[in-house]
Structure 1
Amino acid sequence: MPSTTFRIGGDLPVGRLGFGAMHLPTEKPEDRPSAIAVARRAVDLGITLIDTAHMYGAGANEEVLAEALHPYPKNLLITTKVGVVRSAETGEWALNGRPESLRAEVDHALRRLRVDRLELLQLHRVDPETPLADQLGALRDLRDAGKVGRIGLSEVTAAELAEAREIVDIASVQNRYNLTDREHEPVLAACEAADIAFLPWRTVAWGKAGDREEVAAVAAELDATPTQVCLAWLLDHSPVMLPIPGTSSIAHLEENTAAADLALTPELRARLDGIAGAA
């Protein structure tokens, strides 16, 4: 069985199967109790890594996690992302990596999450209109000031990751990646070489895992669901892989979490490895 834990930045231990909070409902007051219940159930199931972002509900996602889980268990890491903001005039979301904007977002995140320090902060997207050195320099300054513990990136190329590492230590990368979509394999390889956590999002191709005949066949052989097979494959595929499947359903959360106990034989792993090549 693959290792069940990983140390982000070399010193922050988390369980390798996390939870993506993006799908927690926050728009309607009547949905809040169910969102809180899902977040609390995640922690009850032993999840120690929860991913959120300023963009998820313009901070509402961070607030619901704080309402559900604060004061936080000592072993729980809630990581958030900055760098995408909504225009007050148009309501449209846009990249904004200007240092003053990043600093303001971090202060808002600290307040919403009710913490003095964000142990892992990720740049949601690289803003092409702002020099990368300015974006990461601002986050480095926040780290040096004690507001941030570790810095990560999201949706970057291998070249961007290499450039970023010349500016500041990078503890994590969050890119789109799943069994049938391995576009960012070079980024994953770079993360493996540097022991950087790789947090794949869209881990199961948004519910289409069972569309592949081979996935369905493996799931039937293991008495598991296609979603569980896809998550088990991610955990088995790389020791730096920290999947963060998201859901607004306790039943789906429990299904996802159970994937951590699913063992793939070398033969099953080889069959699944071949799927992307046949795409």
Structure 2
Amino acid sequence: MIDDDEVRFTLDILEAWKERAEHGAALALERNDFLTTWRDLVPAERSIVWSSSEDLHRRVADFVIDIGLEGSWRGEAELVRLFIYEMALNAFQHTACTEVSLASDEVSISLSYDSQRFGISELRSSDGRGGKSALDAFRSNLEGSLVLDYRNINEESVWRITDLTKDGGITNPCGVRVAEVAKDIQATREKVEACDEVHLYPPELLSLSDIHKFEENIVDVLQGRRLVIHGLPRDSFIRSFVTERFPDARIV
């Protein structure tokens, strides 16, 4: 029974479920602007200690249920759950960590654990199966609506999945803006120092001069990291121009 598990079903989670149910009822009756808030996740935190792969499966699935992922991110939920599981499994099997932490807020999910760096670039170059397949599946199917970033700070690895439709990249710790890079290269470099990739969120009105200036400055920020560029309209001249100027970048 839900009421019997006070550790998993906290008062905050129960109250968040109630609020979501009320929003859902209003949406079903009125079909108004509740549609834009329906993607909000339930904030929660959970720690998982290694027991077995079956136990890890269940605990990740329970977390996904508790934060309302199936109702909020709908078509993306299955791949997000699979990705979280594979990264947690990698942490237990390939690092010295004995515990992973899951957390969510309204627009993102994070997985953290103590370990040396083993993130996106290492997964891409590895001959692993589950983790690499999960990364490829995420990029092929979810980029555009969700963004993935990885950081390692003081030997703590943090994977974070953020809802771009709600957040627009504002809270992405590995995200930068064109004006931000132009204003202070040193501060921008320090901001993304722990990141595997640097995510650029261009302004709606982007000029060719902006792109040339950014190209001059971004090299000092990247320092070998891969650039990921978001939000350029498909079949636009500006997207083609950026693709030409940044041939090694991923444009999503």
Both proteins in one fold, TM over 0.5: no
The structure, 1 or 2, with the larger RCO (C-alpha pairs under 8 Å, 6+ apart) is 1
Greater Rg, structure 1 or structure 2?
A: 2
Task: Return the structure number with greater helix share.
Answer: 2
